[in-house]
Chain A
Amino acid sequence: MSEYNDKIREISQRLLKECQVDMVIGFRKGSMPMMNEPCFIKNAKDAAQLVWDSNCGINLANYLTNRTEKIGIIAKGCDSRNIVTHIIENKISREQLVIIGVPCQGMIDKHKTTSMFAGDIQDVTEDGGKIKITVNGQVNELDKADVLQKNCAVCTHRNPVIYDEMVADPVEEQNVDRYEDVRQIEAMNPEEKWNYFEELLSPCIRCYACKNACPLCYCPTCFVDESKPQWVGKGQDPTDVRTFHFLRAFHCGGRCTDCGACERACPVGINMRVFTKKLEKDSFEQFGWEAGLTLDERPPLDTYRPDDPDEFIK
């Protein structure tokens, strides 16, 4: 990973020095292990703060919305797809961006690793496919493959789809079954489905971390905050909690790249990706669409084609 760091810093420094960009959006070390934080670097001398490792799961495309300056942005596969989505949706223009592509081999699942150990995690280091976690002074070695974020384990676009500079050679893409979890839910009967989601959402505290972390959720006023009309109750009633989650998912239909930012941000560890993934699967199966792969095609939900599927209309 250190060669990634060097290259990221070198490119960022050059871009800032040559005034090609006003700032670089990247990650710097957080105050806690596994919590790298997004940062805006505006001076070439600060570029040394930038880091890259397996704890950069936050989707940086989130910070591009309606920006007016010229921006260099570090982008792994999913970030790059969300940047494409942002450009398509006119939230930023391509000319404003210098995209520094980072081939990605997956991010560490913070919830999973934390729950594996009784004490506080003091330090996390990585070396190739191995992760060393220090808990109470004891070093535990894990395979990175065992603690990958769930969305990273089934990711099929690890390399940036759009970039101006590339930090390293592309990594090999995975050939995996992306939708096994969705199919498991589809196979349930209505009652089982209902109970599955009831249990899934029961710990939700409506903190909205999921929507704040999501690069797609950029509406000036979210539907949950509107009061005239009030689309959804603001309390903890299970009906309102569920309405929030499934409506948010619908707003991401045909746009979600399964970057996992929502699940990663959730303080109580809800896998709300099962909502967005169903829509992602439908987009793929019915419209052959995967979000954020190209600037040249409009998304299926804002185009009409005579062969759009319509079997559901009776």
Chain B
Amino acid sequence: MEHMGIEPDRIHYSWISSAESTKFVEVVKEVTEKVKALGPNQHFAKHEAKVA
């Protein structure tokens, strides 16, 4: 995805055990901040239906 031009901060992989609630909260906060900083996604979105 990054190779194709999706900003690296939009993609995030984590391994969180069901017992690690604090880590889950931290990760969600971190990811949200990063994505907010990038602003709305412009790519891979169909802005309007194309009429033939």
Q: Within 8 Å of chain A (Cβ to Cβ): is B50?
A: yes
Residue in contact with B13 in the complex, picked from A195, A233, A246, A313, CB distance below 8 Å: A313
- Verify if B28 is at the interface (C-beta below 8 Å from A): no
A190–B50 touching, CB < 8 Å? no
Q: Chain A 138-158 against B: per-residue CB contact (8 Å), 1 yes, 0 no?
A: 000000000000000000000
Contacts of A197 in B (CB 8 A): 4-5
Q: Which one of A33-41, A204-212, A236-244 is at the interface?
A: A236-244
Q: A237 contacts B46, CB within 8 Å?
A: yes
Question: Quick check: is A117 within 8 A (CB to CB) of the other chain?
Answer: no
Instruction: Output the nearest chain B residue to A243 by Cβ-Cβ distance.
Output: B44
Residue in B closest to A195 when the chains form the complex, CB atoms: B5
CA distance in complex: A21, B39 (Å): 62
Q: Main SS of the interface on chain A?
A: helix
Report how far A275 CA is from B27 CA in the complex, Å: 30
Whether, in the assembled complex, A312 has its beta carbon less than 8 Å from a beta carbon of chain B, the answer is yes
CA gap between A313 and B15 in the complex, in Å? 7
Q: Which residues of A contact B29 (CB under 8 A)?
A: none
A231 within 8 A of B: no
Residue among B4, B43, B45, B46 facing the most chain A CB atoms (10 A cut-off): B4
Residues of A within 8 A of B15 (CB): 313
Where chain B touches its partner, the secondary structure class is loop
Query: Which residues in B have their C-beta under 8 angstroms from that of A243?
Result: 44
CB within 8 Å of A: which B30-52 residues: 43-46, 50, 52
| Cβ–Cβ contact A185 & B13, under 8 A | no
Cβ distance B36 to chain A, nearest Cβ, rounded Å: 17
Whether, in the assembled complex, A181 has its beta carbon less than 8 Å from a beta carbon of chain B, the answer is no
Contact A190 B45 (CB under 8 A): no
Q: How long is the Cα–Cα vector from A312 to B6 in the complex, in angstroms?
A: 15
For B5, the chain A residues whose CB sits under 8 A away are 190-197
Query: Scoring B residues 1 to 26 as 1 if CB is less than 8 Å from chain A, else 0, what string do you get?
Result: 01111111000111100000000000
Find A193's partner among B3, B13, B14, B45 (CB 8 Å cutoff). B3
Nearest-CB distance from A55 to chain B (Å)? 32
Please name all residues of chain A whose beta carbon is closer than 8 Å to the beta carbon of B12 when the two chains form the complex.
314
A233 to B6 CA separation, bound complex (whole angstroms): 20
Point out the residues of chain B lying under 8 angstroms from A196, CB to CB: 5
Interface set, chain A 197-229, CB cutoff 8 A to B? 197
Q: Give residues 293-314 of A contacting B (CB, 8 Å).
A: 312-314
Apart from A190-B2, A242-B4, A313-B13: 20 A-B pairs, beta carbons within 8 A: A185-B3, A186-B3, A190-B6, A192-B5, A193-B2, A193-B4, A193-B5, A194-B4, A194-B5, A197-B4, A197-B5, A235-B52, A236-B50, A237-B46, A239-B45, A242-B44, A243-B44, A313-B14, A314-B12, A314-B14
Residues of B within 8 A of A (CB): 2-8, 12-15, 27, 43-46, 50, 52
Chain A residues with a Cβ under 8 A of chain B: 185-186, 190-197, 233, 235-237, 239, 242-243, 246, 278, 312-314
